Chains A and B, each alone.
Chain A
Amino acid sequence: MNYSNDLYRNIILDHIENPKNKKEINSQEYLKSYLKNPACGDDVLIYVLIDKDIIKDVSYDVNGCTVCKASTSIMSELLIGKTLKEVDIIINNINNMLVGKDFDKNIIKDAIAFEGIKNLPPRIKCAILPYKAFKKAIGDKDEL
């Protein structure tokens, strides 16, 4: 095990054991969307609260593998407080990392734990699922 493995492991474990921003949402003000990965059964329900162009809150319910669960928790931390324009940049950088393209490490924070996914192509869909659900919730039709 090298330093980065150890670091990544701790990030992922932390998000699995202590999911961030996960809470029950009853408010009608939240946009929501549900997405399922039919190939494997992972599913996420995402809640997004937007005020003007700022993401005020993100919550979720997620069933699935470690990658999908941790990715959803990490996403909520990354996107809360950001403008829609910033969100776009973050998501594009994460998508680039997952598919092995250039990305800015400073923008994606804890999501760096999934840097290794580029070597596990069948799992890209697990990591990207919450981002797809988020985009669907806010009505962004650009495909990931």
Chain B
Amino acid sequence: MNREDFPMLKEKYIYFNNAATSFKPIEVINEINDYYTKYNSNINRGIDSLSYYSTNKYEEVRNKVANFINANNNEIVFTRGTTDSINLLAYFLEDIINENDEIIISIIEHHSNFVPWQKLCKRKKAKLIVLDVEKNGTISPSLLKNNINTNTKIVALNHVSNTMGATNNIKELSNIIHKYNALFIVDGAQAISNIKIDVKDLEVDFYAFSGHKMYGPTGIGILYGKKQLLDNMEPISYGGEMIDSVSIDNTTYKDTPYKFEAGTMMISSVLGLGKAIDYINKIGIINMHNYVVNLRKYLIKQLQNIYNINIYNEQNEDSSIVLFNINNIHSHDIGSLLDKYNIIVRAGHHCCEPFMKYLKVDSTVRISLSFYNTKEEIDKLIEILMKAGDYINELF
């Protein structure tokens, strides 16, 4: 679908690493170019018309993001990415964690939703509870029920796993978590480009995602938080544009979300993200999702013809991800073989070392599809994977 919109698709590559970062449509690239060539200026500063124009454009994007996930615009904080959003939260929320409190995560979390909580627990002598996952990679609500208690202050889980591609039942998990008055933080990095997100319907307290996995630029992420929760949090970065007034003895801050955006923000990336959201809305996220689900069916069917293949997440039919190994061949060797033919996949531990240990593998090969991938590209992939047994001849 719509391949002509993506300049990178005119290059020689077949790109199956969309869960790492997606390609960008020309509208996004042009928007960034326009900012630097037609109205380059800093936002929120002075009374000149250039700054006024770019400030309006910047704030328009906040509205677009809010509409995209059914939030209010004062609940949208711009960050560097999902990782940054979660790390910020782990500091913002430090004050609510005391010794012997508990934070729940799962074994399948990306390092970015694992390490910040592990470190917070160490700082505050709190307890980190790491839930196992079901065979398909989801977190079982009943397992959560068995582990949550009145000491639980935070539960931080993924919406869609970046390895297994499994989608968690966020609403059901949320109901359990809120019965214990704990905060629910959701890593939405892999969900945002694949499913329609409605933070009100999901009843989450915080939701984090990145622009670059949803056809937008790198360097821009979102932290959604319920207004009242954001209001109660102290910023951790101080400086220009986040202050209300400064005297020698004291400083007051602007309102949420501006108090969290100190200094000159990544204006061009924010503007690019706005165009990425326009682009997704134009194609329709459901159309994108349905296309990918059908393409994945074809991919699975073709992969099953590969001798000695072991697919870990065949059952997750709603996903854009396929995770596999070919017995006795290291994933890096598969990755290099495909790379030789300009086919880009992810090989390694996918920033999920605890989960790789849980699967009892060192690493895996991951194919992650987008709506611009085609059956012809999959055919080429399969043709090369058929040679996997001869990879040493191919590579050396």
Would you call A67 and B332 a contact (CB within 8 A)?
A: yes
* Residues on B with beta carbons closer than 8 Å to the beta carbon of A39: 348
Inter-chain CA distance A71–B273, complex, in Å, is 44
Chain B nearest CB from A95 CB (Å) reads 18
Would you call A9 and B396 a contact (CB within 8 A)?
A: yes
**What residue in chain A is nearest B353 (Cβ atoms)?**
A41
Which single member of B332, B340, B396 contacts A12 (CB below 8 Å)? B396
Chain A nearest CB from B384 CB (Å) reads 15
Which single member of A5, A64, A126 contacts B396 (CB below 8 Å)? A5
Interface string of A49-66 (1 = CB under 8 A from B): 000000000000001111
Would you call B395 and A120 a contact (CB within 8 A)?
A: yes
A8 contacts B by Cβ under 8 Å: yes
Inter-chain CA distance A115–B396, complex, in Å, is 8
Would you call B339 and A8 a contact (CB within 8 A)?
A: no
Would you call A40 and B363 a contact (CB within 8 A)?
A: yes
Chain B nearest CB from A62 CB (Å) reads 11
Would you call B363 and A122 a contact (CB within 8 A)?
A: no
* Residues on B with beta carbons closer than 8 Å to the beta carbon of A6: 393
Inter-chain CA distance A6–B394, complex, in Å, is 10
Which single member of A40, A63, A66 contacts B392 (CB below 8 Å)? A66
A114 contacts B by Cβ under 8 Å: yes
Would you call B330 and A66 a contact (CB within 8 A)?
A: yes
* Residues on A with beta carbons closer than 8 Å to the beta carbon of B393: 1, 5-6, 9
* Residues on B with beta carbons closer than 8 Å to the beta carbon of A1: 393
* Residues on A with beta carbons closer than 8 Å to the beta carbon of B392: 8-9, 12-13, 66
Inter-chain CA distance A123–B332, complex, in Å, is 9
Inter-chain CA distance A104–B333, complex, in Å, is 27
* Residues on B with beta carbons closer than 8 Å to the beta carbon of A64: 330, 332, 362
Which single member of A63, A66, A122, A126 contacts B339 (CB below 8 Å)? A122
Would you call B396 and A114 a contact (CB within 8 A)?
A: yes
Interface residues of A in 1-43 (CB under 8 A from B): 1, 5-6, 8-9, 12-13, 39-42
A139 contacts B by Cβ under 8 Å: no
Known: A64-B330, A123-B336, A126-B332. A40 touches B396 (CB 8 A): no
10 contacts between A and B (CB under 8 A): A5-B396, A8-B396, A40-B332, A40-B347, A40-B349, A41-B348, A41-B353, A64-B330, A64-B362, A116-B396
Given contacts A6-B393, A65-B330, 13 further A-B contacts (CB under 8 A): A5-B393, A5-B396, A9-B393, A40-B349, A41-B349, A42-B332, A65-B332, A66-B329, A66-B391, A66-B392, A120-B339, A122-B339, A123-B332
